């Protein structure tokens, strides 16, 4: 029997939190005298790791330890802002339950650092529902490189062609495309038109309640 897998991006997909992430980044940069355009920032960074973002905006010459400390500061700010609003996107639990009943392996493939993975998955009480969790600490390159999704597929014992990625950002959809995976897009963060050029998108929905698992598995 062919092993299938669903791989979920976390931020903006399992939880509708990208606006809070952006707010925390803008506040972080503002404290350092950097004015950053919100729309341009999201387009350039969604799916990239904190290390990549810090170096892009504050300088490639930053030492690893300095970047790590800066990320820690920014993520504390994010968790303070988002904590009162933490909840899964509508329909997530039902979709996960249906996938498990169908024998589909479940994974998280995220650019988030371990502290935010813990905050989200443990805060929601859903970590145990996943067969594996792959985060920024597990790969060298963030999205749009395919590393995070390929490692998730490998850990699930599934061929990339039999994996479906759930994403909310173009860089993530591109990462899925490079991994040879089909993709479901949630419009939690951007409108459907933002994904019109991707040939690996098989479904676009506002939330998980609009997604028919039978349609996905027969696609």
Q: Which residues are catalytic?
A: 9
* SS (HEC) of the chain: CCCCEEEECCECCCECCHHHHHHHHHHHHHCCCCCCCHHHHHHHHCCCCHHHHHHHHHCCCCCHHHHHHHHHHHHHHHHHHHHHHCCECCCHHHHHHHHHHCCCEEEEECCCCHHHHHHHHHHHCCHHHCCEEECHHHCCCCCCCCHHHHHHHHHHCCCHHHEEEEECCHHHHHHHHHCCCEEEEECCCCCHHHHCCCCCEEEEECCHHHCCHHHHHHC
Helix (H) or strand (E) holding 177: helix 170-178
Does residue 134 sit in helix, strand or coil? strand
């Amino acid at each position: 029997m062919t092993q299938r897998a669903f791989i979920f991006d976390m931020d903006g997909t399992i939880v509708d939190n990208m606006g809070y992430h952006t707010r925390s980044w803008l506040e972080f940069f503002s404290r350092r005298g950097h004015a950053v355009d919100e729309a341009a920032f999201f387009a350039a960074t969604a799916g990239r790791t904190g290390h990549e973002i810090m170096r892009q905006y504050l300088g490639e010459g930053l030492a690893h330890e300095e970047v790590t400390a800066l990320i820690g500061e920014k993520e504390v700010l994010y968790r303070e802002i988002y904590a009162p609003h933490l909840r899964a996107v509508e329909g997530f639990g039902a979709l996960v339950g249906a996938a498990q009943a169908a024998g589909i392996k479940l994974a998280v493939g995220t650019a988030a650092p371990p502290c935010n993975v813990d905050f989200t998955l443990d805060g929601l009480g859903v970590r145990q529902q996943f067969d594996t969790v792959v985060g920024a600490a597990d790969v060298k390159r963030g999205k749009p490189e395919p590393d995070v999704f390929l490692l998730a597929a490998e850990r699930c014992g599934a061929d990339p062609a039999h994996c479906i990625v759930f994403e909310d950002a173009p860089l993530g959809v591109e990462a899925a495309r490079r991994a040879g995976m089909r993709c479901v897009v949630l419009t939690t963060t951007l409108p459907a038109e933002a994904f019109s050029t991707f040939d690996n998108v098989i479904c676009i929905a506002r939330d998980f309640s609009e997604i028919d698992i039978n349609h996905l598995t027969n696609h």
